[in-house]
Structure formats: C-alpha cells, structure tokens
Structure 1
Amino acid sequence: MIPPQVLLGAYAQGVFPMADQGELTWFSPLLRGVIPLDHGFHIPHGMKRAMKRSPFVVKWDTDFRGTMQGCADRERTWIDATILESYCLLHRLGYAHSVEVHDEEGLQGGLYGVALGKAFFGESMFSRKTDASKFALVALVRELQARGFMLLDTQWLTDHLRKFGGIEVPRDEYQRRLKDALGPQDGVFHPPPLGPGA
C-alpha cells in the first residue's frame, strides 16, 4: 500500500501514480488536462436534454470501493490491488471521494478522485449505462464551483473531456495553477469538505 502522506505529497507536487503489470509508475505529464471551473466548463446540448429526462440519481461517497472497481473493470486497467487499497484508505481519511450515479438497478457509473486544498484530482470514471459518467462529471463540477475550488485536474485530456471544455496546459502553467489552488503548505494536509451536506 502507498502511505497516505506519500500520495498526498505527490499530488501536492503535481505527480500521480499508475500501476502496470505489478509495477508502480509516477507521472507528471508535459501537457496536463484540466477543466476550467470559471467560465470554461460547458454541458453539451445533448447532455442537457438527457439530464431533463434521466432516471439517474447522483450520490457522494456511498460506495467508494464499488466506484473504483467499476473504473477498473475494463480489459486493461492501471488500478491494481495496491492502488485500490491505497485510495480506499485515502477515502476513509477524507481525501478521496466518489461521485456515483445510481438508478433503480444500482450503481451505473461514476468517478473518483482526490481533494486537496482547492484542487480536485480526477482519477478515473466509468459507465455501465449511457451518459452515467457524464452525469457524475457535471455533479462534480457544480460541487467544486459551489465550494470555490480553483483546479480540476483530469491528468490527460480525452475527446470526452474536451466536449465539456477540457483543455491542456503546459507543465509549468499547471504547477502555477496547482500552487494557487493549494495555498500555503505547512506539510500538514487537511481534507477539505466535499459533497452535499459536507
């Protein structure tokens, strides 16, 4: 298991881990994917229509492990047992969060990530039904905006995220944004509240 302070310290430096065939590798991309939380985020028209008639209900932190397992349930995954248990511990400590999309048949999609200061580091998302992960993303952005977060890190930029206003920024610019979002660091990390009712 990765010790919590090691993981949190890495995020504070703009570094994150992924596992590949039992090997843990740390990344700090030259181009970093982010979703602007000011005026850059937008919901595609088709998604707005889907939201009006959807049976989905969004929940926070009710099934963190199940959300991670949903993200890992693909042909090739970087979420191994070490990653799973390390982030489940971060969740118990209040730093890692899941946004879950449910319907009457259960968990259908969601995402998880790490909150530190005014930064949220998105790790992965999944869908079992159409648009489920998109619902989770919209809920996350709205919550981050409401709580004054400054940075939503998506690690890399995908076509899926680009449709919601995602952009790429060079590493040096990302580091500036990260420093602003984290504020003064005294070496002691305090988990920010996140989710309705937090």
Structure 2
Amino acid sequence: MYFLSKELYFPPVSEASYEGILAVGGDLSTERLLLAYREGIFPWFEEDEPILWWSPPQRMVVNPNEYKVAKSLRNILNRKIFDITFNQKFSDVIKHCQTIKRKGQKGTWITDSMYEAYMKLHSLGIAQSVEVWQQGKLIGGLYGVDLGKVFCGESMFSLVPNASKVAFVSLIEKLKWENYHLLDCQVHNDHLEKLGAFEISRENYLKILKSSV
C-alpha cells in the first residue's frame, strides 16, 4: 500500500490490494481529485480513518446506450409524479446524501472535508447533481463527477419510495442523449444491480476511461 506525500502522484492501479485499496493519505485538493478520477481512482473512507484511495478490481457500471428501463420504473416516469432538475441544488443533494440513515451503516463516508472538496468541484462545473422534486420539495437525488464522456456517480438519496431510482434513470437518459460512454457506479451493491448496473474488470474500465477523457 502506497503512502501519499504532498507530491501530486498516484502509483499504478495494478498495485492496489485485493480489495482495491491503492493508497493512503494525501489530500482532497481539486488537483488531486481530478488526477485520481482520470486514473480510475476515487476516495472512500470514514470520519475516523485516513484518506483511502481505491481502484477496485471490478467496476460497477452502466452503458447508457444499452440501458433498458424496467417497465415498472418506466410507468412511474410516465405518470410524471416527480419533477427532475439538474445542478440546481447540488449542496442540498450532497447534504442529504451525507445525513440520510442507511440500513447496516453506522455513519457516513461523506465527511465535512469531502463535502467541501466536492463543493469546489461543483463550482468548476465538474461535480454535478440530479434533483427529484415532489410538490416543490426535494425528495431525492444523486451527485457525481463529470469527466466528459464518463460520469462517476458518488451517492444518492431518497426520502420517498422510488425517488433515487428516478434520479438514476433520469441521469442515464441524459447521458445517453449527450453520447456518454459510461456511468461509473464504482463498487457493487445489490441496489445498483437491481437498477441494471453490472460489473466489468478494472482493465476494461480503464480502457473506456482513457478513450473518453
């Protein structure tokens, strides 16, 4: 495992541990975060841990051009019970993702330092959000990092059933319209799999990434 210094550097992702941990330490500066995402690396750690940088051997992704919306979810979209916006309430979205309680999770990996770092990325137009509204109230959404033709999803939240699913599908449809190559969902979880995401190898992910940014 590589311990980062002030130097703006990451080791080759092939040196990551079996679980995908590549490096420890460094900072969350805009420059380091951009370097990380462009190399297929992302930060993921809890409040009482040092900064951990990951590049897992399997990457959870969606190909926007091949994605098929489930019939039940398409029916929800067609009913138009939700309103969708993009990049209107980024701060509120990330705050909801930070504070919402999740089953089997004691705390949050979105620390205050992470919040500040991604707010800086948002001010540069790099970190973006999707908002889901119902009767004028923000009830769901997601945020992530836009690398040009690859969008790296970070976190999503839902205050009412299906709101985060609507945000997820709305993002995919936007990415498809804008000819994006991939939505990166980072690591596997059952919820993402049910939404249609699937795993590819780190090598294949990096090939797509390098041809896209």
TM category (shorter chain) comes to 0.7 to 0.9
Hey, what's the Cα distance between the residues in 2 that align with 1:108 and 1:117? 27
Identical aligned pairs, as a percentage? 38
Hey, what's the Cα distance between the residues in 2 that align with 1:167 and 1:18? 20
Which residue number corresponds to residue 9 of structure 2? none
Q: Helix, strand or coil: the match of 2:212?
A: helix
What are the residue-to-residue correspondences of 1:1-198 with 2, within 5 Å? 2-22=28-48, 23-39=50-66, 41-73=67-99, 74=101, 75-182=106-213
Hey, what's the Cα distance between the residues in 1 that align with 2:212 and 2:195? 21
Q: What is the one-letter code of the residue matched to 2:174?
A: E
Q: Helix, strand or coil: the match of 2:93?
A: helix
Which residue number corresponds to residue 3 of structure 2? none
Runs of 5+ consecutive residues of structure 2 not aligned to the other structure: 1-26
Q: Helix, strand or coil: the match of 1:107?
A: strand
Runs of 5+ consecutive residues of structure 1 not aligned to the other structure: 183-198
CA displacement, residues 83-123 of structure 1 (integer Å, 9 cap, x when unaligned): 00000110011100000001115110000000012110000
Moved beyond 6 Å, runs of 4+: none
Which residue number corresponds to residue 193 of structure 1? none
Hey, what's the Cα distance between the residues in 1 that align with 2:204 and 2:192? 19
Q: Is the 1:37–1:150 Cα contact (8 Å) retained in structure 2?
A: yes
Normalising by structure 2, what TM-score?
0.81
**Per-residue deviation, 1:158:** 2.2
